Each structure stands twice: as structure tokens, then as C-alpha cells.
Amino acid sequence: QSALTQPPSASGSPGQSVTISCTGTSSDVGGYNYVSWFQQPPGKAPKLMIYEVSKRPSGVPDRFSGSKSGNTASLTVSGLQAEDEADYYCSSYAGNNNLVFGGGTKLTVL
């Protein structure tokens, strides 16, 4: 049950695109198409932004997109806006009804 690996920080200017990676193993990210991404503003609860690798819940802007290659998943935020500044966490199903999270990435909009 080891945590997934995310970069601690990422940044971009308004209007730019930024990609956050999430690296696991063949037992979690690489083994299942159950990768999710969550946005957590300071002091608030997480919010689901992407599920099943690339699906967006209703209400999430299409500026947010997800993908996966091998044991690494990615979240891309296009057309960065000030309101996108938050912590972002990935998660993956890890078999045996376990869920594992990444360590989180702080996204700064410059």
C-alpha cells in the first residue's frame, strides 16, 4: 500500500497548460483503469475532477483532462485560471478493495 508518486509542486501562467504526473506500479495505476484526480483548495474538502483515467464528472470544465501510459497517469489543466490554484491528488484502485493516493501536487498560478 505505497503511495503514488507526484511532484510536490507545479506552476504556470494564466492561459498556459500544465501537466501533473502520478506514477505507480503495475499493481495499481498500470493494472487498472481506475485512476482519479481530486482538487483541494486550502481548507476545503477534495473535489473529484477526473475518474476512470479520463472521464470528467458533470460540471468539471473541459480544461481538465486525464490520461495514462503504463504505470504513469497524468492530469493536464489547459488555459490555466487563477481559480485552478489548489492541491491536486491522484488516486488509483490497487486491488483487494484497496485505494492508494498520491502525495499531492501544489499547483501555483503565477
Would you count residue 36 as binding another protein (CB under 8 A)?
A: yes
* d(C-alpha 81, C-alpha 69), whole Å: 27
Which of 10, 12, 21, 47 contacts another protein by CB under 8 A? Answer: 47
Residues 50-79 that bind another protein (CB under 8 A): 51-52, 57
Which of 14, 103, 108, 110 contacts another protein by CB under 8 A? Answer: 103
| Least distance CB 44 / another protein (angstroms) | 8
Residue 31 near residue 95, CB atoms below 8 Å:
yes
Taking alpha carbons only, the member of 37, 23, 42, 35 closest to residue 108 is 42
Stretch that binds another protein, among 17-25, 66-74, 75-83, 99-107 (CB under 8 A): 99-107
Residues 6+ apart with CB under 8 A from 87: 39, 40, 41, 42, 104, 105, 106, 107
Point out which residues bind another protein (CB under 8 A).
Answer: 1, 3, 32, 34, 36, 38, 45-48, 51-52, 57, 89, 91, 93, 96-104
